[in-house]
């Protein structure tokens, strides 16, 4: 059976509508990536993410990295350890911080240095309460190596 142009257009529109609906459910703020130096093969991406209905962050991808993973840093026996996590719960209506020293998106096998002012495309893979995985496309600004989120001061 051949699909008509109208049927193809409708399928595309339905796909766009589903993505738009998810985008309305998931809000991402203050996305940024820590800048790198020549030869550096990994960095972190940080952001605030809120799901209105309660979803789960299950993955990430970026064209600047060979591998992107959700990571957690936490104290274990007095030692700060970092580990990959497969899922990060996004409780309904509660902002979840992906920040230095905590959860973040680890960008590994970088394909190029990332310098201040660059923009990095990130795709966040979010599982809806109905168990459907959707892609949320965002752009993250590259900040200096020593960058801290806007409004945060170091003393």
Q: What is the reported pLDDT for 3?
A: 47
pLDDT band at 12 (very low <50, low <70, confident <90, very high): very low
Q: What is the pLDDT of residues 116-144, one digit of tens each?
A: 999 999 999 999 988 899 999 999 999 98
Instruction: Give a yes or no: residue 31 inside a domain.
Output: yes
Q: Which letter does DSSP use for residue 34 in this model?
A: E
Q: What is the pLDDT of residues 77-122, one digit of tens each?
A: 999 999 999 999 999 999 999 999 999 999 999 999 999 999 999 9
Instruction: Give a yes or no: residue 48 inside a domain.
Output: yes
**What is the value of pTM for the model shown?**
0.78
Contact 121, 137 (CB under 8 A): yes
What separation, in Å, do the N-terminal and C-terminal C-alpha atoms of the chain show?
68
- The vertex-82 CA angle with 77 and 88, nearest 5°, equals 110
Instruction: Give a yes or no: residue 64 inside a domain.
Output: yes
Token pair listed for 86: 């497969």
Please report the sign of the dihedral spanned by the C-alpha atoms of residue 70, residue 125, residue 32, residue 34. Answer: positive
Instruction: Give a yes or no: residue 3 inside a domain.
Output: no
Q: What is the CATH number for 77?
A: 2.60.40.1890
List the domain range (segments joined by +) for residue 55.
Answer: 27-143
Instruction: Give a yes or no: residue 154 inside a domain.
Output: no
Instruction: Give a yes or no: residue 14 inside a domain.
Output: no
pLDDT band at 15 (very low <50, low <70, confident <90, very high): very low
Domains of the chain: total? 1
């Amino acid at each position: 059976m051949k699909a008509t142009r109208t049927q193809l257009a409708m399928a595309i529109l339905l796909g766009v509508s589903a993505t738009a609906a998810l985008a309305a459910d998931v809000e991402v703020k203050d996305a940024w990536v820590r800048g790198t130096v020549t030869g550096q093969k990994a960095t972190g991406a940080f952001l605030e993410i809120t799901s209105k209905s309660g979803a789960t962050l299950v993955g990430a991808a970026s064209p600047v990295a060979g591998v992107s993973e959700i990571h957690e840093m936490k104290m274990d026996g007095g030692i700060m350890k970092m580990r990959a996590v497969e899922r990060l719960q996004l409780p309904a209506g509660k902002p979840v911080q992906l920040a230095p020293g905590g959860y973040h998106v680890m960008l590994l096998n970088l394909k190029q240095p990332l310098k201040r002012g660059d923009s990095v495309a990130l795709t966040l893979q979010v599982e809806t309460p109905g168990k459907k995985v959707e892609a949320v496309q965002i752009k993250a600004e590259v900040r200096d190596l020593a960058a801290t989120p806007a409004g945060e001061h170091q003393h």
